[in-house]
Structure 1
Amino acid sequence: MTKLNRVLILTVVLAGLALRRAPSAAANGGATFKVIVQSAFLRGGPSLDAPRVFSVFYNQVYPVTGRTADNSWLQLDEIGWIWSALGEVKGDLSAVPVLAGSAAPSAPDSPSVPAPSAAADSSTTPGVMLKMTITAKSAFVRTAPTASAARSGSVFKGQTYTAVGRSTDAQWVQIQFGNRLGWVWIGVGKLSGDLGALAVTDYVAPGETNNAWASGTSSTAPWIPVITPYMRAVYEASPQAGHSLNLFAAVGDCNSESQVYLQRVREGRFSFTGHEELRATVDFFSQSFRRDSLATYGGFNSGSILNPDWGNPTWCQRAEGPFDCELRVSQASIVFISLGTGDQYIWRSSEANYRAMIEYALQHSILPVLVTKADSVESVQGGADPDYLNGVLRRLAQEYQIPLLDFWLASRNLPNYGLQRDGFHLNEDGIYLHILVTLQTLDAIWRR
């Protein structure tokens, strides 16, 4: 066989394969599926018991070629099946053929997103809770009770979630969605009871107390992380590695320096009005409020925090940067990582730096809490996409299944987003809110 003939045969074979694998979304109502988790397996059938046949990754888009009757599992490009909550669907699913009966959504293999819970843990979602069954074909879960808020996931007809709160105007329902809370419009589902029985859990300004999340023993605000059994297990195992359950550490930049943060609690300059339950949390972690962190300093970024050249020579060992030095000296079981403002020119390497911090903490049985920031200076000054670093933090929190304190979301209703005129230092409203949500996150972690 001549070389030319071999080339022609190979071309025909490849063309045939390309035609056979051509996306069939157009024939199925244009329905496509975008992966929203770091990675997940496709399976040979709509069940976790089915064999793994393929891997998909964040942001990839596939045509939907089949579905179960309840849309809880979808077949992608005739390759394999995926649990529908791991992505976003665009197009008309009703035009996609039903290839299998209903399948109960159960926990997927992806480490990023646990399955929707049929019953919430009362230690993390206090108060009245109802069931919400989705009756619309599909709907987006959003980070706040408004149609303009960022999408955080998708829900599909027939799925049932735990409803823990409602918006002030009674148009939105807050549901437990994986390891976080999210909002769906009231019209996409049916509640098992009276909407009015749910607590009002949307935002109130600092100092106001009319909303349930501002006065409960464990906040249900969407920016406060829901503490999963895995997160609690990491925290409760920390004494075995020599840490103390009543100690935490703060790692950060100018907005986490003691004088605008923990020192205010220590000196009695934080108002507990409307939040009296948080005094017990401060008492429990009192030793941590009595010391200044070795890893907070104006100008610190995700690179310098790991650099031994920036370690305090009085306390830090030669090879220690401020981050690992603070964790060793503090004996903390929890570490708040509040960086990013100083990453405006190094944002391309920020993800690798955050991964190093997360993995170091977890390897030492310390629970890392990622904290988003109110600014977006990496976009304004450094040329990154809007809100780039906060997006990295949200994705890493999902990937590692660790708490995310979404300060960016909490600050959206503050004047100028809680920032001074320079666009990155917190103003007094921002400082107050930063302290408040820190205490509420601590409260959610240590209370059972």
Structure 2
Amino acid sequence: MLRRTFFGIFTVVFLIVLSLSGVQAQEPDGFALYDLNVRSGPGSSFSMITLLPAGTGLMMEARSGDTTWVLGHTADGTFRGWVSDLYVRYRDGFSPTRLPVSAEVIGVPMSPAPQDAPVVEAAPPGMSLTATTLAALNVRRGPNQDQAIIDRLPAGVTVVIEGRDAGEAWALVHTLDGGTRGWVTTEFIRLPAGVLWNGVPVSAETVETPESPAVSLLRQLPVVAVPTTRVQDIYQRGLARGNHPDRFSKVGDCQSIPEFFLGAFDRGEYTLGPDYAHLQTTIDHFAGSFVRESASVWSGFNAYAVLDPTWADPSICAAGEAPMACEYRLWQPSFVIISLEVWHGELDDYTDNLRQVVDFWIAHDVVPILATKADNREDDWSINVAIAALAQEYNLPLWNFLMAAQPLPGYGLTDGFHLSYARCNFNDPAAMQNGWPWRNLTALQSLDAVWRGVGG
């Protein structure tokens, strides 16, 4: 049975926020598309102030120079800080590019300096020191934001404090049931009255996390898609029916919008460097497809929505036409990159929907390239396993982005889901420590490999 779990919840929250905004003097400028980190400055390296639930309204004040971050506050004034522009849905008529540029850093209280503070025994001998989380927190392998995220803890959870870093910015904790253990920021932990961080023992431990069998299995698959024996047949049938050999489409969510995904290749905002200079031919061949707004890409789409006419853009799609059908009619490509990452329902429903997505494109003689994802929000890598299994079952190319992200700091993620950002300079080692350059590079490499596999 098809599920609308994510969209049902999102729509209800969104409508509630809209109804509340009606009684305020000013309508919010935008709304959080997902649970959204609010940070003290315009970048993922700045400290997190809070986590806003999906649908929260925001009044915008300023933007970073490149408009990748916007400064705003909640409609009730409770929270103020910087959020990623990528995960905000703006009201009609509002453009963040009209905001003034700012580099303001929101002040956060500093912990007392150890030399000025008395040493307070953290807990009596034989007893554990416990504390409470004040906000949803990422749990990391080590005491800095470059460390991989192990888990997330909601607000109000009691944790046992094992240690702290020398700067008192991070605490090593575990939950009472022992199910989660790792490092969290001390900024949003409430210690018992009279206890100071300088009474907690210093630690530099890196928490070891065994690799799951699913990741071990996925590690055996190449990152760059490999053209399969079926690809040539699909491609040739597509040419016979009029599909364009120099076009590709995208099916996806917020990780596939052209502002961040592939659009740089049409905008000229990239540096291939000597190692990847050969990819220029592919960029030239598919010019126009990279930056194009696909009818089957939207920040809230999942594997069900792209099949449902309810979510089609009425300004470009016919009545009763689903987003993918609309996209094919408008563009008629020879290739399609399918990257559907968000799912809040049952795995079987995700797999069934993804199967229908693949069936649609094959029925229209378009070569599908399936993509794995960097995050593990489902906790067991089951979505990536399902994607890889479907690619194998259908004998289709798999772009295994997961394995490109695994060696990166934080697995290429800033908060367990959003990719770390840098521009597409593939010749810059610093840029290549981030998730987005690798997502764009390996997608381009996969498109290149599959296209050349059919004689391109």
TM-score normalized by the length of structure 1: 0.49
TM-score by length of 2: 0.48
